[in-house]
């Protein structure tokens, strides 16, 4: 049980920081150039999903630990 | 619900029937159904194509126009986009409908009770097709293998082989070593990079399949655990999240396959 918690807990740190950075940079970009919101949003979501996928790997490992 | 029945989200898809030794799993049944839906949709749109689009054709044309615009930004030319669009869009629609089918009511909640090792297990008749690693692995393998085949066709097999096993760099060493001695250092690195390329091809398949499977499966577990906490209202925002995740993951899978296709069919210049 502890192994499961550690797997997802530690595995979520990196992607969490990553998604935070992606969001921060996107907000910064929108702040600089509000007209580009539509252009920034879709790539931001895609890249956030990439970062999220790493947390998902940890989640799959957490599920598969017996 | 009868007592003593174990409900759990298993990592693998459960078999619900067998044909000989071949198990029919619930995820497979679901992906067949999705396939039937995609085919029916395609036939419906194809049957009455008109110059001036109406209704369903209008919607499909809008979607495909949008996608072609997106594809152009990756491939760089409309000709290439049109060449890859059938494969990539097929991936997109198949994965999208599979992801969304996992959150339909009845999928994962209607099923039979089976005795496995003396314990009663609940086995649903349907399970989101992409919530099974076999499906996503198959899709990833198809995509990557097709990108290699098209790469060989587009750039020639000798050029393509040298991307992975760099014979060209190896043969260059004795020819040019007197003129430029630095080649003794540069070309072994090029050869080593080729080996890394081979590993990255395997990593592509692994990351594509695990990303999709993990996201969809984690979504199902999330919904199940939220429904276990409070079945009224609480799963609603998560259902919305799953609709979004299903769309984004289908889009990512399709766009990644398109990027691999584009990279492999473009001749790299030095």
Q: Could you report the per-residue pLDDT of A26-49, keeping only the tens digit for each?
A: 999 999 999 988 788 878 888 888
B90: which residues sit within 8 A by CB, 6+ positions away?
B38
Q: How far is A28 from chain B (nearest CA, A)?
A: 23
Kindly provide the ipTM of the predicted complex, given to two decimals. 0.71
CB B2 within 8 A of CB B113: yes
CB B98 within 8 A of CB B128: yes
Q: Tell me whether residues B248 and A50 touch, CB distance under 8 A.
A: no
pLDDT of residue B2: 55
CB B56 within 8 A of CB B45: yes
Closest CA to B212 of A15, A47, A63, A60: A60
Q: How far is B229 from chain A (nearest CA, A)?
A: 19
- Burial string for B230-265 (b: 16+ CB within 10 Å, else e) reads eeeeebeebeeebeebbbbbbbbbbbbbbebbbebb
Q: Cα separations (Å) of B268 from A60, B29, B167?
A: 37, 43, 16
CB B212 within 8 A of CB B200: no
Closest CA to B139 of B84, B88, B193: B88
CB B104 within 8 A of CB B127: no
Burial class (CB in 10 A: 0-12, 13-18, 19+), B18: exposed
pLDDT of residue B235: 87
Q: Tell me whether residues B248 and A64 touch, CB distance under 8 A.
A: no
- Write out pLDDT tens, residues A5-27: 999 899 999 999 999 999 999 99
pLDDT of residue B140: 94
- Write out pLDDT tens, residues B4-34: 777 777 777 888 878 888 888 888 888 999 9
pLDDT of residue A10: 93
Q: Tell me whether residues B252 and A49 touch, CB distance under 8 A.
A: yes
Q: Cα separations (Å) of B115 from B6, B38, B112, B121, B123?
A: 10, 35, 10, 6, 10
Phi then psi for residue B93, to 5 deg, are -70, -40
How many C-alpha atoms does B24 have within 13 Å on its Cβ side? Answer: 12
pLDDT of residue B3: 63
Average pLDDT over residues A52-60: 85
pLDDT of residue B138: 93
Instruction: List the structure tokens of B158.
Output: 């000798």
**Is B252 within 8 Å of chain A by CB?**
yes
Is the pLDDT reported for residue A4 higher than 70? Answer: yes
Closest CA to B27 of B16, B41, B39: B16
- Sites in chain B below the pLDDT cut of 70: 1-3, 268-270
> Rounded to 5 degrees, what angle do the CA atoms B17, B22, B28 make?
65
């Amino acid at each position: 049980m502890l192994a499961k918690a550690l797997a997802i807990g530690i595995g979520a740190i990196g992607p969490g920081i990553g998604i935070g950075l992606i969001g921060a940079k996107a907000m910064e970009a929108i702040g600089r150039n509000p007209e580009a919101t539509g252009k920034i949003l879709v790539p931001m979501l895609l890249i956030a999903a990439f970062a999220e996928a790493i947390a998902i790997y940890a989640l799959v490992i957490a599920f598969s630990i017996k | 619900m009868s007592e003593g029945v174990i409900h759990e989200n298993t990592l693998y898809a459960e078999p619900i029937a067998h044909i000989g030794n071949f198990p029919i799993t619930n995820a497979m049944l679901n992906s067949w159904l999705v396939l039937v839906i995609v085919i029916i949709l395609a036939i419906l749109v194809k049957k009455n194509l008109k110059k001036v689009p109406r209704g369903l054709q209008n919607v499909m044309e809008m979607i495909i126009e949008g996608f072609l615009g997106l594809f152009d930004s990756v491939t760089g030319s409309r000709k290439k986009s049109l060449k890859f669009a059938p494969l990539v869009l097929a991936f997109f629609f198949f994965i999208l409908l599979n992801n969304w089918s996992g959150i339909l009511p009845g999928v994962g909640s209607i099923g039979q009770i089976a005795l496995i090792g003396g314990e009663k297990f609940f086995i649903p008749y349907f399970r989101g097709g992409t919530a099974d690693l076999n499906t996503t692995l198959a899709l990833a393998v198809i995509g990557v293998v097709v990108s290699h085949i098209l790469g060989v066709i587009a750039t020639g097999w000798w050029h393509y082989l040298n991307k992975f096993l760099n014979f060209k760099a190896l043969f260059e060493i004795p020819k040019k070593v007197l003129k430029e001695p630095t080649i003794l250092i540069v070309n072994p690195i090029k050869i080593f990079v080729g080996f890394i390329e081979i590993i990255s091809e395997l990593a592509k398949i692994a990351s594509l399949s695990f990303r999709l499977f993990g996201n969809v499966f984690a979504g199902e577990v999330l919904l199940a655990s939220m429904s276990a906490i409070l079945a009224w209202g609480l799963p609603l925002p998560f259902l919305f999240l799953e609709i979004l995740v299903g769309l984004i993951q289908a889009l990512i899978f399709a766009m990644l396959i398109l990027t691999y296709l584009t990279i492999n069919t473009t001749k790299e210049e030095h």
